[in-house]
Structure 1
């Protein structure tokens, strides 16, 4: 009995440490990216270049881990190369979505405040329902659709209040909506691509970052960032490169701690943890930047956060219910 209690205690401690790491890394990543994209200390009007550099750092880490086989005693990095013709042809469509997703996410963060960032990107759940029906013909329950309706209402209320407070950015909100759309498509298509890489999330991350390094180059040119980079004066600044490298490590770390949280808990717990983290992130941001928000603004956040949490819970209950359905006698005999 004592051994069992000791194992249970160790399990809870591990879960607490992993969830805490997820919260710390995720919140730190948002603030670091906001500093890189908008602060006067960096003052580089090239958000896509900054995002590209983060992909370079993530790719370098993945490449190193692929050569060493991972970190001894922590995890093994799967074997694979992104330069196989067969892999490139199958994964590149997903990598295009991945590139557009992280580009629009950072562009959204550049133009909106951290406190409004979650609201600006809150429509991912709604797009998941829409695209699941269009692409996969999956029907969503009425209560989940109702949750989506409340999310849309919360988004509208948040945008309205942000406009009244004078801090609303139309371009930033548009980037947030597009980022939500791309994240939804990326999540759906990831399910189709994972079997190609033997269900290895790390391998898929390795490939995505490798291809994104190339895919970002024409986007940087089209966004007019080449002239900005040629005229930038802080490339010889050690402080600038330290910030850039930290941003790259944060981008890599968020992928690792997210996978770890799902592994030691469950997808439902991960969604609830992410929702609670977004709430804490919003509160921290309003205090950090000395922002004053009215009651309706906070109400919009509560509506979006509560509706997203309820949606995750309803989907989990439906999945558990479907898994408990009796297997027909014909299938039992086959099994």
Structure 2
């Protein structure tokens, strides 16, 4: 009796933890999108340097992690931070692929957000699940069932329907849409690679965030130069304004938070669950954006959002049933043996 009670409490605590982590991811991600959009294209700020902003966010995140590391050594009873050396060559070699994906994911996110509205941002990045299926087959050689492929096909239909409806508005941008698709691809690859990379840092999310942001500071520099943003930043009219740097620092804190909670959500769930959570979050984000910006949309445009959401939910359910069936078959085979 007591054993069953303890098991029940353990499961309740596990699911409560997952719920709060997912809720934290939703809140942090939505806040980050709105803050970044304001910095990138609002009339009052209009920075016009998405890669520089991404770089600065990585700088702030690195300083936060470094500060926590120093505080944990000086006040170990108050602050805790896992031991690690980001300058270790072996660590750098193992985590570099993830850091490259992390850099590309952030860059594509902010580049897409520069050119498209927050409402369309969801549709532009809705192909993450489709890319996850493709990458699972290409990298892991795992075949996907017909039902899963059908769900992915419906997601693609919803994506094209949304693009078609957005193209009828003056706010449509092919460049922003392409960056959104690239962001979906980078996120799918990042989710798969994160699960592997956590093993190299003893499952420590803090260390992974620290290393990723530090390495990305270096990786962003050539991208900033190639995109011609150095001149843009130097000539920016509000460069000396304190409010500008305060807003940029806030975006840095948001950038750190989203990187941390993304890795945490993947850790407590799975890459698949993370992708589905991101899709559902983006749907809520779309509703908030249309209300906040008074953005009136057609019924067909809303249909595209619903199609993507329902197809993503159906894909999740199909994968859950397939995993349950595989687990039952494995248990039956074990019992026979």
Shift in alpha-carbon separation, 1:16–1:203, aligned structure 2, 3 A: closer
- CA–CA distance in 1 between the matches of 2:251 and 2:43? 16
Confirm whether residue 122 of structure 1 aligns to residue 126 of structure 2: yes
2:69 alignment counterpart: 66
- CA–CA distance in 2 between the matches of 1:195 and 1:17? 24
Q: Is there any run of 5+ residues in structure 1 with no aligned partner, and where?
A: none
Shift in alpha-carbon separation, 1:255–1:332, aligned structure 2, 3 A: farther
1:31 alignment counterpart: 34
Deviates more, 1:5-14 or 1:322-331: 5-14
- CA–CA distance in 2 between the matches of 1:261 and 1:212? 21
Deviates more, 1:123-132 or 1:312-321: 312-321
Shift in alpha-carbon separation, 1:16–1:205, aligned structure 2, 3 A: closer
1:179 alignment counterpart: 183
- CA–CA distance in 1 between the matches of 2:88 and 2:14? 40
CA deviation profile, 1:139-187 (whole Å, cap 9, x unmatched): 1111111110001000000000001133210000011111111222222
**1:313 Cα offset (Å):** 2.2
Shift in alpha-carbon separation, 1:57–1:156, aligned structure 2, 3 A: same
2:243 alignment counterpart: 239
- CA–CA distance in 2 between the matches of 1:9 and 1:138? 32
C-alpha contact 1:119 1:155 (8 A) present in aligned 2: yes
Alpha carbon RMSD of aligned pairs, Å? 3.2
Shift in alpha-carbon separation, 1:3–1:121, aligned structure 2, 3 A: closer
Confirm whether residue 22 of structure 1 aligns to residue 16 of structure 2: no
1:102 alignment counterpart: 106
Shift in alpha-carbon separation, 1:329–1:280, aligned structure 2, 3 A: closer
**1:10 Cα offset (Å):** 8.5
**1:88 Cα offset (Å):** 1.2
Give the TM-score taking structure 2 as reference length: 0.87
Give the TM-score taking structure 1 as reference length: 0.88
Shift in alpha-carbon separation, 1:3–1:260, aligned structure 2, 3 A: same
Confirm whether residue 302 of structure 1 aligns to residue 306 of structure 2: yes
Confirm whether residue 85 of structure 1 aligns to residue 89 of structure 2: yes
Deviates more, 1:69-78 or 1:117-126: 69-78
**1:4 Cα offset (Å):** 11
**1:109 Cα offset (Å):** 0.7
Per the alignment, in what secondary structure is the counterpart of residue 166 of structure 1?
coil
Count of aligned pairs: 333
1:134 alignment counterpart: 138
C-alpha contact 2:71 2:79 (8 A) present in aligned 1: no
- CA–CA distance in 2 between the matches of 1:236 and 1:152? 45
C-alpha contact 1:144 1:311 (8 A) present in aligned 2: yes
Q: Is there any run of 5+ residues in structure 2 with no aligned partner, and where?
A: none
